[in-house]
């Protein structure tokens, strides 16, 4: 790497320290609500903690990882120094200042609105401004990714953009458009109320704007992991990438389909028409396509590695996989969690089936499996993989890394599978208090005990992760050149469509207008839809 | 072979993606707006176009009977906003005191502390007094005395009275705390399985919601009679039925324990 080492390290360290802090909050939330602990008495403390946990895990941690990884990819894949280093630092500091600005009101109980905001609840204005700064900081990154790709293309006319950079910029554009929904909600609907200019808010419209961001943000979180699947995993386990083209297709499909589907979060909201709910459900189903493409391609790539190692037979090759390699373990765990989480997600997105699990613990189980499970376990791996590049350290100890991955995987399964079960029994999510003395809850308390145990394993795993990274000795030794996966057959030419984004951005925006244009316009002109704001944390 | 330009029908990536996405969108629109509504009686009652409009969330009329309760008596007409929670200025308090001494003190006490079973008003939140006076004025809350008095008050006088009572010291200096020993479970944690929210979530302690009165030190008989009136539906001026939905499911013993708890006072009347 050239200029970005310290920059990437700064992003990663802040992300990981914030991550561990939020992990501890999450475990506390599990513990105090379980029969293991006496109830703390004040539900506001619980919601304060949920807001902190969600804000860090949803906005700060994945954004910093995506930014840091993006800067690293820019230098490693394009093999040239990052343009706009000073701007990148400005973006980083905006994220830091925003995080602190949001964290203080959360900590003092002035912003217990959860990271999904939930108007008409209105928290401290500094909370929202902090979130806006985090997003603005990430927009600097989006711009830098676009500028760096453009400059590289200008100097390398006709050449295929390296797959890692292609995915990286797809993620950046996805985030740019995705974050617009929440940005509109905050700037035009929430801030005027939080600043005291208004005392009513159109909560229904605000929810529609948030749904614009709410679902696609998951695909922004997911992009670094998918880039790792395609461009790091095959190399790390000694195989080849089955198809470079498939990777590009998956990335552009995410770009087009992940955005205009968020109304499936509003199936129970009366202000949106049933026709649009169906439309969004149908397009949500389309996201399965790039997901399955990826699973297929990565399994095929892994099979190549096994056959190179002498694996034979239809399934016999599985035994020949490098199971001692942490990356092999991580990708396996990731796919198992993606499988369970994805299967649950199909129920969430189905207009009718959703009714059985809407707003239950099932949903919490689902998104923890997908994000904290399948996605975050790959964040660990990309940090481990990049660490020698960033610090000049030797490769990290495989034994400890594997222990950390096992703890994370087992902890996540122990925590989330009982959540799914108890969600089917009807346990609501976001409950601060469960009355286990009530006979109607007989036989449900164990799920929270399991959650606390699983959560404890996750905290230990998180601490071990940071320990492994912190223990790596920094040296000035020049690390071996970083390589990305090599495809089995590199296509001689890459179609213009798969070497740039303009067509896909146009389709993404067009589809957003079709799927969101009418519901937003209709709610915006509807009269008498505002309700009094409910200030949080003190009159 | 030279690849055709991206934005040209000759480019198969362009052709297939535009047609594919367009076709998928049209198909999904047809299913969602035409086919699925066609099997729902309430969607199709007024023909195809109305059915599409309903699926889009804009039916030509929102109720099949067409008779919406326009401004039904007995439910509140007051929209509570954070503006109403501000304490009044000194002159408003002064004017309010004059009115209060003349018209209110007989029942609510000279210092806003009732000796009978009328509610204490000392230290009551201003928006509570404002809302209740408007509800009395409009006949949404019934009381032979209060309706008569409220009808004589102007908007400014109502705000002045509210400012005055807001300025007086409360019966108890501090609200109930969520972890207060001796507080009934209903007050602290509610009863989630009956959908009953803890009292302290709105009436102070954990959080105070606009329009929820300060209850500490209120006469027990008053609290009990109001909860019973909410439970029976005799009193209906709570926004969105908030109180009616809470107390309807409570047993007489539970009502009694909650009223008794909130009615307790500090040994000596505390100052603010």
- Answer whether residue A475 shows pLDDT above 60: yes
pLDDT digits (tens, 9 = 90+) for B11-22: 999 999 999 999
Which residues, including other chains, have CB under 8 Å from residue A164's CB and lie 6 or more apart? A73, A76, A77, A227, A230, A231, A484
DSSP class per residue in A192-218: HHHTTS-SEE-HHHHHHHHHHHHHHHH
Residue among A207, A215, A280, A420 flagged as catalytic: A215
Q: Is residue A173 among the annotated active site residues?
A: no
pLDDT digits (tens, 9 = 90+) for B61-115: 766 666 665 556 678 888 888 888 888 899 999 999 999 999 999 999 988 998 8
Number of residues assigned to chain A: 539
Query: A5-431+444-472+507-535 has which fold?
Result: Cytochrome C Oxidase; Chain A (1.20.210)
pLDDT at A72: 97
Q: How many CB pairs under 8 A join A and B?
A: 130
Per DSSP bridges, beta strands A534-535 and A121-122 are: parallel
Residues of A in contact with B189 (CB under 8 A): 39, 43, 433, 435
Residues of B in contact with A435 (CB under 8 A): 189, 191-193
B interface mutation test: which of A275, A281, A442, A538 has the most B CBs within 10 A? A275
Q: pLDDT tier at B271 (50, 70, 90 boundaries)?
A: very low
Give buried/exposed letters for B177-201 (b at 16+ CB in 10 A, else e): ebeeeebbebbbbbbbeeebbbbbb
Q: Is residue A429 among the annotated active site residues?
A: yes
Average pLDDT in chain B: 88
Reported ipTM: 0.91
pLDDT digits (tens, 9 = 90+) for A233-260: 999 999 999 999 999 999 999 999 988 8
Tell me if A54 sits within 8 A of A116, measured CB to CB. yes
> Positive or negative, the Cα torsion across B66, B67, B71, B76?
negative
pLDDT at B266: 64
Both structure tokens of B262: 């909130």
Residues of B in contact with A272 (CB under 8 A): 57
Q: Which has the minimum average pLDDT: A19-33, A501-515, B61-75?
A: B61-75
Q: pLDDT tier at A282 (50, 70, 90 boundaries)?
A: very high
Per domain, the residue ranges of chain B are 1-64, 82-167, 185-263
Question: Does any CB of chain B come closer than 8 Å to the CB of residue A535?
Answer: yes
Beta carbons of B82 and A535 less than 8 Å apart? yes
Beta carbons of A435 and B191 less than 8 Å apart? yes
Residue among A173, A210, A219, A226 flagged as catalytic: A219
Residues of A in contact with B206 (CB under 8 A): 42-44
Sequence-distant contacts of A444-448: CB under 8 A, at least 24 apart: A445/A34, A445/A35, A446/A418, A447/A361, A447/A418, A447/A419, A447/A421, A447/A422, A448/A30, A448/A33, A448/A34, A448/A35, A448/A36
> Positive or negative, the Cα torsion across A313, A319, A323, A328?
positive
pLDDT digits (tens, 9 = 90+) for B175-196: 787 777 788 989 988 998 899 9
Beta carbons of B17 and A497 less than 8 Å apart? yes
Question: Does any CB of chain B come closer than 8 Å to the CB of residue A522?
Answer: yes
Q: What gap in Å lies between CA B215 and CA B200, rounded to an integer?
A: 10
Among candidates B3, B24, B82 on the partner chain, residue whose Cβ is nearest the Cβ of A496: B3
Tell me if B134 sits within 8 A of B77, measured CB to CB. yes
Which residues, including other chains, have CB under 8 Å from residue B200's CB and lie 6 or more apart? B175, B176, B177, B178, B183, B187, B188, B206, B207
Residues of A in contact with B6 (CB under 8 A): 496-497, 500, 502-503
Query: B82-167 has which fold?
Result: Cytochrome Bc1 Complex; Chain D, domain 2 (1.10.760)
Tell me if A534 sits within 8 A of A121, measured CB to CB. yes
Beta carbons of B13 and A503 less than 8 Å apart? yes
Both structure tokens of A141: 């990154």
pLDDT at B68: 61
Look at A474 and A402; give whichever has higher pLDDT.
A402
Q: Is residue A219 among the annotated active site residues?
A: yes
**Residue A222's Cα: distance from chain center in Å?**
5
Which residues, including other chains, have CB under 8 Å from residue B12's CB and lie 6 or more apart? none
Q: Within A239-373, where are the H helices?
A: 244-257, 274-286, 288-308, 326-349, 354-357, 361-367
The answer for A 481-510 residues in CB contact with B (under 8 A) is: 493, 495-498, 500, 502-504, 507, 510
Question: Does any CB of chain B come closer than 8 Å to the CB of residue A527?
Answer: no
Give buried/exposed letters for A453-465 (b at 16+ CB in 10 A, else e): bbbbbbbbbbebb
Q: What gap in Å lies between CA A448 and CA A29, rounded to an integer?
A: 10
Look at B122 and B48; give whichever has higher pLDDT.
B122
Tell me if A299 sits within 8 A of A243, measured CB to CB. no
Among candidates B7, B56, B207 on the partner chain, residue whose Cβ is nearest the Cβ of A44: B207
pLDDT digits (tens, 9 = 90+) for A122-143: 999 999 999 999 999 999 999 9
Q: Is residue A430 among the annotated active site residues?
A: yes
Q: pLDDT tier at B272 (50, 70, 90 boundaries)?
A: very low
pLDDT at A203: 94
Q: Give me the residue label for tokens 């949500």.
A: A284
Of A42, A265, A194, the residue nearest A535 (C-alpha): A194
Question: What is the percentage of chain A residues whose pLDDT exceeds 90?
Answer: 89
Q: What gap in Å lies between CA B199 and CA B180, rounded to an integer?
A: 13
CB neighbour class for B62 (10 Å; exposed up to 12, middle 13-18, buried from 19) = exposed
pLDDT digits (tens, 9 = 90+) for A47-106: 999 999 999 999 999 999 999 999 999 999 999 999 999 999 999 999 999 999 999 999
Residues of A in contact with B188 (CB under 8 A): 41
Q: pLDDT tier at B45 (50, 70, 90 boundaries)?
A: confident
Helix (H) or strand (E) holding A531: strand A531-532
Range A320-349 average pLDDT = 96
Among candidates A43, A282, A532 on the partner chain, residue whose Cβ is nearest the Cβ of B81: A532
Tell me if A502 sits within 8 A of B6, measured CB to CB. yes
Average pLDDT in chain A: 95
pLDDT digits (tens, 9 = 90+) for B128-173: 999 999 999 999 999 999 999 999 999 999 999 999 999 999 877 7
The answer for A 146-205 residues in CB contact with B (under 8 A) is: 199-200
Q: What gap in Å lies between CA B202 and CA B181, rounded to an integer?
A: 19
Of A450, A427, A452, the residue nearest A438 (C-alpha): A427
pLDDT at A263: 95
CB neighbour class for A470 (10 Å; exposed up to 12, middle 13-18, buried from 19) = exposed
- Answer whether residue A172 shows pLDDT above 70: yes
Question: Does any CB of chain B come closer than 8 Å to the CB of residue A397?
Answer: no
Nearest-neighbour CA in chain B from A539: distance (Å): 7
Q: What gap in Å lies between CA B59 and CA B22, rounded to an integer?
A: 26
Sequence-distant contacts of A473-477: CB under 8 A, at least 24 apart: A473/A391, A473/A393, A473/A394, A474/A391, A474/A392, A474/A393, A475/A391, A475/A392, A475/A393, A476/A392, A477/A392
Domain at B185-263: CATH code: 1.10.760.10
Residues of B in contact with A43 (CB under 8 A): 178, 189, 198, 201, 206
pLDDT at A479: 86
Among candidates A43, A514, A534 on the partner chain, residue whose Cβ is nearest the Cβ of B206: A43
Q: What gap in Å lies between CA A535 and CA A109, rounded to an integer?
A: 12
Question: Does any CB of chain B come closer than 8 Å to the CB of residue A97?
Answer: no
Question: Does any CB of chain B come closer than 8 Å to the CB of residue A409?
Answer: no
Range A375-379 average pLDDT = 98
What is residue B175's DSSP assignment? P
């Amino acid at each position: 790497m050239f200029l970005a080492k310290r920059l990437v390290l700064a992003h990663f360290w802040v992300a990981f320290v914030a991550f561990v802090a939020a992990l501890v909050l999450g475990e506390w939330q599990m513990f105090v609500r379980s029969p293991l602990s006496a109830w703390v008495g004040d539900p506001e403390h619980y919601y304060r903690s949920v807001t902190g946990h969600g804000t860090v895990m949803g906005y700060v941690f994945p954004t910093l990882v995506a930014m840091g990884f993006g800067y690293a990819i820019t230098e490693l894949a394009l093999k040239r120094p990052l343009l706009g280093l000073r701007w990148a630092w400005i973006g980083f500091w905006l994220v830091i200042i925003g995080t602190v600005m949001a964290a203080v009101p959360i900590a003092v109980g002035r912003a217990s609105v959860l990271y999904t905001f939930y108007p008409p609840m209105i928290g401290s204005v500094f909370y929202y401004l902090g979130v806006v700064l985090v997003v603005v900081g990430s927009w600097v990154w989006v711009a830098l990714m676009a500028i760096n790709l453009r400059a590289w293309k200008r100097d390398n006319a006709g050449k295929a953009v390296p797959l890692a950079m292609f995915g990286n910029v797809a993620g950046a554009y996805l985030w740019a458009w995705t974050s617009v929904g929440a940005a509109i909600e905050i700037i035009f609907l929430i801030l005027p109320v939080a600043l005291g200019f208004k005392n009513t808010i159109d909560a229904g419209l605000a929810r529609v704007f948030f749904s614009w961001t709410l679902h696609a943000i998951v695909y922004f979180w997911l992009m670094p992991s998918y880039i790792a699947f395609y461009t790091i995993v095959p190399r790390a386990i000694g195989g080849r990438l089955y198809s470079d083209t498939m990777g590009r297709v998956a990335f552009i499909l995410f770009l087009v389909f992940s955005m205009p589907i968020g109304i499936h979060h509003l199936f129970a909201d009366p202000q949106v028409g049933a026709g649009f709910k169906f439309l969004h459900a149908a397009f949500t189903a389309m996201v399965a396509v790039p997901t399955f493409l990826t699973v297929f391609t990565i399994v095929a790539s892994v099979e190549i590695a096994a056959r190179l190692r002498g694996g034979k037979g239809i399934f016999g090759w599985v035994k020949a996989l490098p199971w001692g390699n942490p990356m092999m373990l991580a990708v396996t765990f990731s796919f198992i969690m993606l499988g369970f989480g994805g299967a649950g997600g199909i129920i969430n997105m189905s207009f009718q089936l959703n009714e059985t699990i809407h707003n239950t613990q099932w949903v919490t189980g689902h998104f923890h499996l997908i994000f904290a499970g399948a996605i975050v376990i790959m964040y660990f791996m990309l940090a481990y993989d990049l660490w020698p590049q960033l610090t000049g350290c030797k490769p990290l100890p495989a034994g400890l890394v594997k222990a950390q991955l096992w703890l994370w995987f087992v902890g996540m399964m122990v925590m989330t599978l009982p959540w799914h079960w108890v969600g089917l029994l009807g346990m609501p999510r976001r409950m601060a208090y469960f009355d286990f003395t009530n006979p109607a809850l007989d036989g449900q308390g164990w799920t929270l005990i399991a959650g606390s145990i699983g959560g404890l394993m996750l905290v230990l795993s998180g601490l071990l992760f940071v320990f492994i990274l912190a223990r790596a000795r920094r040296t000035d030794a020049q690390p071996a050149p970083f390589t990305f996966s090599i495809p089995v057959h590199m296509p001689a030419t890459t179609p213009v469509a798969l070497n740039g984004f303009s067509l896909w951005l146009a389709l993404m925006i067009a589809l957003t207008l079709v799927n969101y244009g009418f519901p937003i316009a209709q709610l915006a002109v509807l009269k008498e839809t505002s309700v009094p704001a409910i200030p949080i944390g003190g009159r | 072979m030279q690849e055709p330009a991206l934005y040209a029908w000759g480019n198969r990536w362009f052709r297939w993606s535009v047609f594919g996405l367009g076709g998928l969108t049209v198909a999904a629109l047809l299913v969602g707006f035409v086919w699925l509504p066609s099997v729902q009686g309430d969607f199709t009652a007024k023909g195809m176009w109305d059915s599409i409009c309903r699926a889009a969330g804009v039916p030509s009329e929102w109720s099949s009977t067409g008779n919406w309760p326009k401004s039904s008596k007995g439910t509140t007409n007051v929209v509570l906003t954070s503006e109403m929670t501000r304490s009044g200025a000194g002159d408003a308090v002064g004017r309010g005191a004059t009115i209060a001494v003349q018209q209110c003190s007989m029942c609510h006490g000279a210092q806003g502390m009732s000796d009978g079973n009328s509610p204490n008003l000392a230290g009551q939140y201003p928006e509570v007094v404002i809302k209740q006076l408007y509800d009395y004025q409009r006949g949404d809350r019934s009381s032979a005395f209060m309706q008569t008095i409220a009808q004589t008050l102007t908007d400014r006088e109502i705000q002045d009275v509210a400012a005055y009572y807001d300025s007086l010291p409360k019966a108890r200096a501090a609200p109930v705390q969520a972890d207060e020993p001796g507080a009934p479970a209903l007050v602290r944690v509610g009863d989630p399985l009956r959908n009953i929210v803890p009292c302290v979530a709105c009436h102070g302690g954990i959080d105070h919601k606009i329009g929820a009165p300060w209850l500490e030190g209120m006469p027990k008989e008053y609290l009990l009679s109001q909860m019973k009136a909410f439970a029976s539906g005799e009193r209906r001026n709570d926004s969105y039925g908030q109180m009616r939905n809470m107390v309807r499911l409570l047993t007489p013993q539970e009502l009694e324990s909650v009223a008794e708890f909130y009615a307790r006072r500090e040994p000596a009347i505390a100052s603010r």
